[in-house]
Structure 1
């Protein structure tokens, strides 16, 4: 069985080419392309209605694309549903986290994927594996037997991310993981994203928060009106450029800045 650290950093693990998706009269995605490498964090940004959520649902098997190709680990695939995406090695942590407040951390991590011997739950094995996953993330969880209801927002996000690792995925998608978190908890979650990268996973981070994106992403893919609008390496992109690409004012803003630079240089 493959482990998370096998993929050499730099290999393309997920590639989308010419992906289209229509809902009735609405063209939600048009000729979208994106690739994610092992050990890389790719941020997917865009305004409301830019197509980010639709694209995430296509990758995670919730929606079927109307056209285009998805290549995973070097072969063309059709993602027939969320369980098929998971079996392939694509894990998704949606914004609502889908955790059961009344169950403890172990039960949440293995919900629907319980380990059993002769139809009896193997609690010891699941508890050991729970600690191993949390250690992989250097997570700050006081006990794996604590109910989810007793955890902070950042700790809940940690459990949801740890659960996504149960099947040894190659790609993990995080949908707005820092939404509604305070400063300390946001820092905690961004550390988790760094840890995912360090273990050799490809990470897709969907976020509205430009500071978070610039803190952990390697590349930033900007979507606008269901299309690719721009792509930046994080060290090359200023917040102004990102905002301009997201809002569609990039040409004017970039041209104006270039003109100002030229004037100050000439002067």
Structure 2
């Protein structure tokens, strides 16, 4: 993204923001509420369109008019609200709305075996073990539910995964499982934009952090060149970006 701005009436949600994401890279997007994080990711996800600036994907300028176009580029988003169907099992949630079928005369039948096979392959790719594939997702832990949501996004073989507060409201053990999932995504060749209000989690998995404040980018720093304390100072406007800004 180059020089991207977004306004809602008189409110400048983003103002001339540059943002980059490399191949197999995890970038933590950091900022207080109202800093512009959600606006930025929603432009990449096709929910909003920028008022100014441009979006480039794999070196070419693109316009993302809607979420379907984002998905066609290879951009998937897992929001904090997972939008899982609690009474359906894991394969049904992963394939919801795109179920594989086989045909008999005049009729297409959902191929449950094919759904389960693909679901197991995706979970194995993430190194996730779930005892029963056919238990309703309502019965899964928070970390397992996140794994199902990520698996649903992975089915389309995305190049970029946006994860909006995936560790919110999870116990420590479950948080660690989700952080492990992010590491596995990177190892499998997926670039990740990670949003979390917990800096410790962000630093544990991110290669870089991009800090937003009041709609402007105030830092873009490799995590091994800064500290959470320095990032907090940038978030609240206590100092200029430290040495090591990318």
Report what 1:37 is aligned to. 22
**4+ runs deviating over 4 angstroms:** none
1:140 offset after TM fit, Å?
2.7
Report what 2:32 is aligned to. 47
Describe how 1:53-64 pairs up with structure 2 within 5 A: 53-64=38-49
Separation of aligned partners in 1, 2:189 and 2:198: 24
Q: How many residues align?
A: 239
Report what 1:88 is aligned to. 73
Is the 8 Å Cα contact of residues 89 and 134 (structure 2) preserved in structure 1? Answer: yes
Gaps of at least 5 residues in structure 2 are none
2:6 to 21, 29, 35: 21
Residue 169 of structure 1: SS of its match in structure 2?
coil
Describe how 1:101-120 pairs up with structure 2 within 5 A: 101-118=86-103, 119-120=108-109
User: For residues 254 and 204 of structure 1, do their structure 2 counterparts lie closer, same or farther at Cα, with a shift above 3 Å needed?
Assistant: closer
Separation of aligned partners in 2, 1:200 and 1:178: 22
1:45-68 deviations in whole A, cap 9, x for unaligned?
A: 000000000111111001111111
RMSD: 1.4
Separation of aligned partners in 1, 2:13 and 2:116: 42
Separation of aligned partners in 1, 2:232 and 2:129: 34
Give the TM-score normalised by structure 2.
0.94
Say which is worse superposed, 119-128 or 88-97, in terms of deviation.
119-128
1:244 to 220, 227, 233: 233
Report what 1:175 is aligned to. 164
1:86-120 deviations in whole A, cap 9, x for unaligned?
A: 11100000010110101101010011121112321
2:223 to 234, 253, 263: 234
1:254 offset after TM fit, Å?
6.6
Gaps of at least 5 residues in structure 1 are 1-15, 256-267
Report what 1:152 is aligned to. 141
Residue 34 of structure 1: SS of its match in structure 2?
coil
Give the TM-score normalised by structure 1.
0.87
Report what 2:206 is aligned to. 217
Report what 2:64 is aligned to. 79
Separation of aligned partners in 1, 2:160 and 2:182: 12
Separation of aligned partners in 1, 2:180 and 2:242: 32
1:1-51 deviations in whole A, cap 9, x for unaligned?
A: xxxxxxxxxxxxxxx111111111111111111111111100000000000
